[in-house]
Amino acid sequence: MRLQPDQPLGIFDSGLGGLTVASAIKQLLPDEQIIYFGDTAHLPYGDKSSDSIIHYSGKIAEFLLERNCKTVLVACNTASATAYAGLLDKFGDKALVMDVIDPVVDYVTEKFPSSKTGVIGTKNTINSNTYPLNIREKIPVANVVSMATPLLVPMIEEGFIYDDISNAIIRSYLSNELLDGIEVLILGCTHYPIIKNQIRKYYNFRIEVIDSAEIVARHLKEKLASENLLASERKSEDLFYVSDFTEYFGKIARMFFDSNINLSKSDLWK
């Protein structure tokens, strides 16, 4: 079946981090309906096995396609690094399957080709070496360093932001000598934009801090336009699904979107 402009956008993440991407998309593409799935029962993905992430991602993609989504946007760096290629192979003929890593790599290599670049993310994202490999594929002599920051996702999911605890954890990670001298820092996790200002403040706003939200939103708009799939009018309300209810997810979702968001629980693994 040919994709149609009035089909919804499907977006998923391990939890609430992908809401940063979904929010940027909503601001740029207000006529699009969003169906979002946060796999809160299995977060964080960063310490899960590759097989588990691939399994979870596949089930969520099927869930979104059952709801007639024209996109399956993997709004999670860990799932993008681990499961995106498989999702593209399996579902690429049914929807536009997109990740959050490739658009950021394209942006950074174009805008900051000679800068020392740091990458922080979950263990799986960093261990995959996806960012350094993809950046060096475009710029072989690129100076890229990467470091796992596994406490940041559970910290954010538990609501520890803008307080002494989060500041101490952020400072502990960013003071690592591995990141000395960086001029650009890629936030290699869609949760991290929630603490972007804290990170920028640590560096006294002297370095470029890159998050994927606006970059991915612009890339998605360009892709939809090239495929003649941009919605021309708003027809349905956004829908938000989680695999397990968490109080903080609802709080953050309402901060990014309408206070009356449609939030439902859907356990895909029963």
- Locate all alpha helices (DSSP H) within the chain, ordered by sequence: 19-28, 50-66, 77-91, 101-111, 123-128, 130-138, 152-157, 164-174, 196-202, 213-226, 247-256
**CATH code for the domain of 168:** 3.40.50.1860
In a domain, 218, yes or no: yes
pTM for the full predicted model: 0.94
Residues whose CB is less than 8 angstroms from the CB of residue 240 and which lie 6 or more positions away in sequence, other chains included = 36, 38, 253, 257, 261, 262, 263, 264
Residues 106 and 208 placed together within one structural domain of the fold: yes
pLDDT in tens, 131-146: 999 999 999 999 999 9
Residues 107 and 38 placed together within one structural domain of the fold: no
Mean pLDDT estimate for the chain: 95
CA 58 from centre of chain: 16
pLDDT in tens, 30-60: 999 999 999 999 988 988 999 999 999 999 9
Look at the block and give the residue holding tokens 């003649």.
228
The pLDDT of residue 1 is 65
In a domain, 3, yes or no: no
pLDDT in tens, 8-25: 999 999 999 999 999 999
Residues 165 and 231 placed together within one structural domain of the fold: no
Q: Which domain holds residue 112?
A: 101-212
The pLDDT of residue 23 is 95
- Starting at the edge strand found earlier in the chain, the sheet holding 144-148 runs 144-148, 117-121, 184-188, 208-210
- Token couple for 204: 């006294």
In a domain, 1, yes or no: no
For the chain, the 3-state helix, strand and coil shares in percent, each to the nearest 5, are 45, 15, 35
Report the catalytic residues. 76, 189
Residue of higher predicted confidence among 237 and 251: 237
In a domain, 2, yes or no: no
Q: What is the mean pLDDT of residues 109-132?
A: 97
Q: Which helix (H) or strand (E) holds 228?
A: none
Q: How many structural domains compose the chain?
A: 2
